[in-house]
Amino acid sequence: MAELPIPDVSPARCSGRFTISTLLGMEEAGRGPYTPTEGSSCDSAQPTQLSSSTLYTRTFGYNTVDVVPAYEHYANSKGVGDPRKGRPSLADLHSILKPDPSRLCTPVSDVQHSNGLPEAGPEAGLEEAEGEPGRDSEPEPVRFGWVKGVMIRCMLNIWGVILYLRLPWITAQAGIALTWLIILMSVTVTTITGLSISAISTNGKVKSGGTYFLISRSLGPELGGSIGLIFAFANAVAVAMHTVGFAETVRDLLQEHNSLIVDPTNDIRIIGVITVTVLLGISLAGMEWEAKAQILFFLVILVSFINYLVGTVIPATAEKQAKGFFSYRADIFAQNFVPNWRGPEGSFFGLFSIFFPSATGILAGANISGDLKDPAMAIPKGTLMAIFWTTMSYLVLSATIGACVVRDASGSLNDSVAVGSPGCEGLACSFGWNFTACAQQQSCRYGLSNYYQSMSMVSGFGPLITAGIFGATLSSALACLVSAPKVFQCLCKDQLYPLIGFFGKGYGRNSEPIRGYMLTYVIAVGFILIAELNAIAPIISNFFLCSYALINFSCFHASITNSPGWRPSFRYYSKWAALFGAAVSVVIMFLLTWWAALIAFGIVIFLLGYVLYKKPDVNWGSSMQASSYNMALNYSVGLSEVDEHIKNYRPQCLVLTGPPNFRPALVDFVGTFTKNLSLMLCGNVLIGPRKQKMPESWLMADGHTKWLMKRKIKAFYTDVVAEDLRSGVQMLIQAAGLGKMRPNILVLGYKRNWRTASPQSLEDYVGILHDAFDFKYGVCVMRMKEGLNVSQVLQAHVNLTFEAAEHPENGTGSRAAPGTADPTTLASEQQASTIFQSKQGKKTIDIYWLFDDGGLTLLIPYLLGRKKRWGKCKIRVFVGGQINRMDEERKAIVSLLNKFRLGFHEVHILPDINQKPRPEHIKRFDELIAPFRLNDGFKDEATVNEMRQGCPWKISDEEVDKNRAKSLRQVRLNEILRDYSRDAALIAITPPIGRKGRCPSSLYMAWLETLSQDLRPPIILTRGNQENVLTFYCQ
């Protein structure tokens, strides 16, 4: 830890802890913090007396630039390496501080505890951490604990009409034993989902958005966005469903008293619209009023339960006995313990599909996560407790009513008989009632199997059960009315879908989504007016199940990826249980309604496809990102175990582009034949001092990668800082790649200015080619008539980051203006178009396969020809030969090409390849090398080496003479290229190789210049590493 002597600081200038700005301000005043005081040194560990009280003095005994751990340093951090307020950067600690007059002393309040946390804990420091210092003057938003915010809300949403009207009937059909099994099976799914919710919600700070927030931040925007939209819509329609359930109950009461308003159907509409309007008013009044209404409903339901349980122990009256109620009897319990299937729905899975929706509703608490004091604590505790207590209520109700009420009863007081009367069948005979006639004719109106209002009949006071039904339906409707806008608001703020951002605006201290409430209200009223919810109800249930499946899968996926960021504080979950829960949820979707499940999946896939197509610019650190890394890592390691085979050879290219936007043609050319096929790596050598170039490297890497992505080039970008070009390329050649995914071809641009450039840069360029061959790379040099480097053009039109490159045409090094780089500008700059982005039509790709390099000269044009833009081009192959054996040599080459299955059928033999070139062209070559000749007069080798000291690029007379035939061949080949390939779309030719130490760099560049000059089409000089890249064997 860096230790600083403490200067005397005026309290007027700074109060509280020392900051970087404080130290710089003092340094500017002439008292530098690094200036040793008398008797002190930089390594001194002795405590120093401070004139101002600071946290660091009390903690360590001396002042330091380093800071102790604090909450605000980590609050709201998203990306790796996000700069955090209050924490010095690595440069502040590691580099020498320089005075900066623009920096002023910024007082920082002294932290009150030695652990660096604010006095009121993390929550108190949250607003400051998020950059909202003005929040203190605003009223505090309403926040709920785990009981009021989650447990009661979930219990109310789980309890519904099925509890009162269908559970007794299910008990009669399936028997107590199988009913318990149905309940426990349903609860198993919801409990596993509850455990998954608990794990996800405790893996970091949860904000508003509930289910959508949990899934989207875990699985990413693709699945999260689709499920968020349909979940919000499902909640909006569920408001209508629960409201219609309430309206139907009220309508039935009105019918009993002959007090219908209009007619049965319109009464449902009228009552439903009035009810949902009142619920909207409660919601708009604020979360506090909504919570009070929920507590009222909760109390009503509890009173109705107590009323029912009291009724079961009250001795049965004659009227109740006539309807099948006889209080607790062992005989009744035994008879109702086993199933008695009746009707079309009389099957285990039929009853399961009816009961399961009553176990749902566990997400009601999570959906208002933004209104909870501590979501990480409240959601797990409240949700699991709600599941436990509602499960107990279901089990108790089915067991108690199954022990009190017989399955069939007539309801007639005239059916009482003496115990043991002849002709009486059934359990009721032993209690003095004869229900034999109606049971045999299946015309009984009462009993568990026939009377849905059995709970009301059993209870001590029937109207309280009706009040419980009202409470259950209205509380569920209110919970959905609140959940839908909250989830939709978070979705709108993320802007994953168009045209919905309008509904994301929040109002008031709780940021209430007023517009979302109104939209939910309109949807609910629309479905209430339809009054035909039987068709839409299964789809809603499937939407909720789809959410359960994705929540469970989120937990499983986050666990299986082994991401270090998956650290939930809730430990009582299992990834395999979560996977089981996800699978079972999908199975139940098809068990409930197979066609609704298909519709739900279809909608999810459509929304998923839209987000995948749009690729929203969000980064939430999802488990999908972690999974991508895992898969890439596993496949890369697995690839290392696979032996290489010629059939699986892929041209993996290290492209010396420099900044990729400087040489778009080179990028497009390689990107065309490597796309979806092999590795492409754009390399850049930053030449200069490391200290100066490293910041530029960090700043620009992301911008270059985004430029490649925008251009739809599937490539990586990497750069190195080196003192000179050649050493930087050597670093790239040796270190680029991973395992078997390492480059095997070096691609670079042709150095057009080699004659006017510095001799050392010429040596470096040719040396790079030699280095590539030394490391067993193939080499591909690309030359275009107009050149490759467009940096000058870009600088003329755009305020570009980079200055002119030191090596304009070699595609490698760059010198940049440090501190002026802007990755966003770089990625959004206008894209330059090149010949490789346009369709080539019916031109030709001419391959001059002059020397056998292993087949690379053939392979690259073949891969290029498979692409759509080059697909119509005819590929011609030219080889050298003798005029008296042209037919035989042509047949041999055609036969070889056929065995390679390349589809090249047009083969030309060049019999005149060894003819002497025209004199004017020979003269031009001699003039080309003249400035580089040593003119030593054929002296001995020792004398030549002495004369060439310090200028190894000079060509001796002996070297000119020895390589005369080779030089003339390049002149002749250029004449052939201009004769045969004047109108070609692309020329690929095997270049000569200059022997290392025997061919000066200037002579070799003269060969390449002569071979490729004055050609209109692009020319690629391709040379393999003399190892096969093509084979005609199948093993």
| pLDDT score, position 533 | 60
More confident residue, 484 or 423: 484
CA-CA distances (angstroms) from residue 610 to 226, 496, 607? 9, 9, 5
Mode of pairing for the β-strands spanning 778-783 and 1019-1023: antiparallel
Q: Mean pLDDT: which of 197-211, 363-377, 778-792 is highest?
A: 778-792
Counting every residue, how long is the chain? 1035
Question: Has residue 613 got a pLDDT over 90?
Answer: no
Cβ atoms of 183 and 388 within 8 Å: the answer is no
With 80 as the cut, is the pLDDT of residue 88 above it?
no
Per-residue model confidence (pLDDT) at position 24: 38
The Cα 744–Cα 215 span in angstroms is 42
Q: Report the pLDDT value the prediction gives residue 74, as an integer from 0 to 100.
A: 67
Q: Is residue 116 over pLDDT 50?
A: no
DSSP symbols for 487-502: HHHHHHHHT-STT-GG
What pLDDT, in 10s, does the model give residues 968-983? 999 999 999 999 998 8
Joined together, the tokens standing for residue 416 give 């009482």
Q: How far apart are CA 941 and CA 277, in angstroms?
A: 104
Q: Bridge-partner residues for 3, per DSSP?
A: none
Q: Which two tokens stand for residue 738?
A: 């991973």
**Of 411-415, 709-713, 868-872, where does mean pLDDT reach its minimum?**
411-415
**Bridge pairing between strands 906-910 and 874-880:** parallel
Amino acid at 101: P
Confidence at 592, pLDDT banded by 50, 70, 90: confident
Residue 824 has pLDDT above 80, yes or no: no
Structure letter (DSSP) for residue 372: B
676-703 tens-digit pLDDT:
889 999 999 999 888 778 877 887 888 8
Q: What is the pLDDT of residues 225-255, one digit of tens each?
A: 888 888 888 888 888 888 888 888 888 888 8
CB contact at 8 A, 953 and 763: yes
On the CB side of 541, CA atoms within 13 Å amount to 26
pLDDT tier, 1009 (very low <50, low <70, confident <90, very high otherwise): very high
User: From its phi and psi, is residue 175 left (phi > 0), alpha (psi between -120 and 50) or beta?
Assistant: left
Cα 353 to chain centroid, rounded? 35
pLDDT in tens, 61-87: 566 677 777 767 766 555 555 555 567
Q: Please check whether residue 197 is in contact with residue 383, taking contact to mean a CB–CB distance below 8 angstroms.
A: yes
pLDDT tens track for 1-29: 344 443 444 433 433 444 434 433 443 34
Q: Name which of 285-294, 572-581, 901-910 the model is least confident about.
A: 285-294
CA distances (Å), origin 564, targets 18, 623, 684:
34, 11, 32
Helix, strand, or coil here: 356? helix
* pLDDT top residue among 897 and 217: 897
Give the pair of three-digit tokens for residue 805.
């490159």
State CA 152 to chain mean position distance: 34
| Predicted pLDDT of residue 136 | 45
* For range 454-476, the mean pLDDT: 87
pLDDT at position 904 over 80: yes
Side-chain-facing half-sphere of 540: CA atoms under 13 Å: 23
Is pLDDT above 50 for 106? no
Q: How many helices (H) and strands (E) does the chain have?
A: 37, 11
Q: What is the pLDDT of residue 98?
A: 57
Cβ distance 915 to 975 under 8 Å?
A: no
Closest residue by Cα to residue 670 from 716, 731, 720: 716
92 Cβ contact list (under 8 Å, min separation 6): 20, 65
Instruction: For the beta carbon of residue 939, count every other beta carbon within 10 angstroms.
Output: 15
Q: By percentage, how much of the chain surpasses pLDDT 70?
A: 83
- Report CA-CA distances (Å) from 432 to 324, 428, 443, 706: 11, 7, 20, 86
* Residues 423-454: tens digit of each pLDDT: 777 788 888 888 887 888 788 888 888 888 88
Per residue in 264-279, pLDDT (tens digit) is 788 888 999 999 999 9
- The mean pLDDT of the chain is 80
Which of the four pLDDT bands, split at 50, 70 and 90, describes residue 535? Answer: low
Q: Higher confidence at residue 655 or residue 132?
A: 655
Closest CA to 199 of 65, 33, 383: 383
Q: What is the dihedral of CA 246, 248, 249, 253, to 10 degrees?
A: 140
If you ran DSSP here, which 8-state letter would residue 986 be given?
E
Q: By the 8 A CB rule, do 147 and 101 touch?
A: no
pLDDT at 1021 > cutoff 90: yes
Which ranges in 202-317 belong to alpha helices (H)? 210-219, 221-256, 264-284, 287-313
pLDDT of 275 reads 92
Distance CA 957, CA 971 (A): 19
Q: Which of 799, 804, 847 is nearest to 824 (CA)?
A: 799
* pLDDT for 734: 94
**For the residues 143-164, what does the mean pLDDT come to?**
85
pLDDT over threshold 90, residue 1010: yes
Per the structure block, which two tokens stand in for 912? Answer: 């005149």
Helix axes 537-560, 167-201, angle to 10 degrees: 30
- Angle between the 348-355 and 575-592 helix axes, to the nearest 10 degrees? 100
The rounded distance, in Å, linking the Cα atoms of 622 and 448 is 50
The pLDDT confidence band at residue 926, using thresholds 50, 70 and 90, is very high
Supply the pLDDT for residue 111. Answer: 38
Residue 720 dihedral angles phi and psi, to the nearest 5°: -135, 150
Q: Which ranges of 642-777 does DSSP label H, i.e. alpha helix?
A: 664-674, 690-710, 725-735, 759-774
Tokens of 354: 């009816």
* Per-residue DSSP letter, 815: -
* pLDDT greater at residue 150 or residue 205: 150
Q: Which residues contact 14 (CB under 8 A, 6 or more apart)?
A: 22, 25, 52, 105, 107
Is residue 991 within 8 A of residue 1011, CB to CB? The reply is: yes
Tokens describing residue 771: 């280095």
Work out the number of other CB atoms within 10 angstroms of the CB of residue 588: 22
Strand partners, 7: none
Radius of gyration for the chain, computed over Cα atoms and rounded to the nearest angstrom: 41
Q: What is the pLDDT of residue 29?
A: 42
Q: Residue 60's pLDDT is what?
A: 58
Q: Report, in this order, helix, strand and coil percent for the chain, each rounded to 5.
A: 55, 10, 40
- With vertex at residue 893, the alpha carbon angle to CA 888 and CA 898, rounded to the nearest 5 degrees, is 125
Sequence-distant (6+) residues with CB within 8 A of 925 are 967, 968, 970, 971, 1006, 1010
**How many Cα atoms are found within 13 Å in the side-chain-facing hemisphere of 621?**
11
User: How confident is the model over 589-601, as a mean pLDDT?
Assistant: 87
pLDDT at position 991: 92
Report whether pLDDT(469) > 60: yes
CA 360, CA 243: separation in Å to the nearest integer? 17
3-state SS, residue 842: coil
> Do 468 and 301 form a contact (C-beta atoms < 8 A)?
yes
The model's pLDDT over 171-205, given as tens digits with 9 standing for 90+, comes to 998 999 999 999 999 999 999 999 998 888 888 77
